[in-house]
Amino acid sequence: MELTIYLAGQIHDNWRKDFKEKATSLGLPLQFVGPMENHERSDQIGEDILGEQPNQILKDEAASKFNNLRTHVLLNKSDIVIALFGEKYKQWNSAMDAATAVALNKPLILIRPESLHHPLKELSEKSQVTVETMDQAIQALAYIFAEK
């Protein structure tokens, strides 16, 4: 039994690469999917496909459609959603993806530093588990397959 994991959250550093490597080193039968991690491409994708837009808002709106298309398809395919929140950025789309997973009856693992516990308390309460580090999230995934 292989599980598909959607890695939601910010795309400003290489945390997904680290996460996948750690999971792979444990030999867990997991397939990872997630958003476009090239931030610039993620912001440009609307104009890349549709051509130049009249203004910055419409450029953003166009980009958001293709980013949401990707998320929509891949989230539907996933068994578990992991959302990582960091100190920087608004990350409202991460909160959106996390809440969508919960509403679709897909378990959510929330990773956040303790310093964010107050603003994330309601989302944490909706998650299946909340942890502080990637290692803890990987242990949670490993536990699903553990036999002893």
Sign (positive or negative) of CA dihedral 21, 92, 44, 87: negative
Based on CB atoms, which residue is closest to its own copies, 15 or 144?
144
80 touches its own copies (CB under 8 A): yes
Rounded Cα–Cα distance for residues 12 and 24 (Å)? 22
Rounded Cα–Cα distance for residues 122 and 126 (Å)? 7
12 touches its own copies (CB under 8 A): no
Rounded Cα–Cα distance for residues 93 and 10 (Å)? 9
Residue among 20, 33, 86, 134 that touches its own copies (CB under 8 A) = 33
24 touches its own copies (CB under 8 A): no
Shortest Å distance, C-beta 29 to its own copies: 12
Residue among 9, 19, 30, 67 that touches its own copies (CB under 8 A) = 67
Residue among 55, 82, 113, 134 that touches its own copies (CB under 8 A) = 55
Shortest Å distance, C-beta 44 to its own copies: 11
CB 113 within 8 A of CB 87: yes
Residue among 47, 79, 86, 134 that touches its own copies (CB under 8 A) = 79
Q: Report the chain's terminal Cα–Cα distance, integer Å.
A: 17
Residue among 15, 68, 86, 134 that touches its own copies (CB under 8 A) = 68
10 touches its own copies (CB under 8 A): no
Based on CB atoms, which residue is closest to its own copies, 27 or 118?
118
* 32: phi then psi, degrees, rounded to nearest 5: -105, 135
88 touches its own copies (CB under 8 A): no
77 DSSP β-pair partners: none
Residue 76 corresponds to which tokens in the numbers above?
């539907």
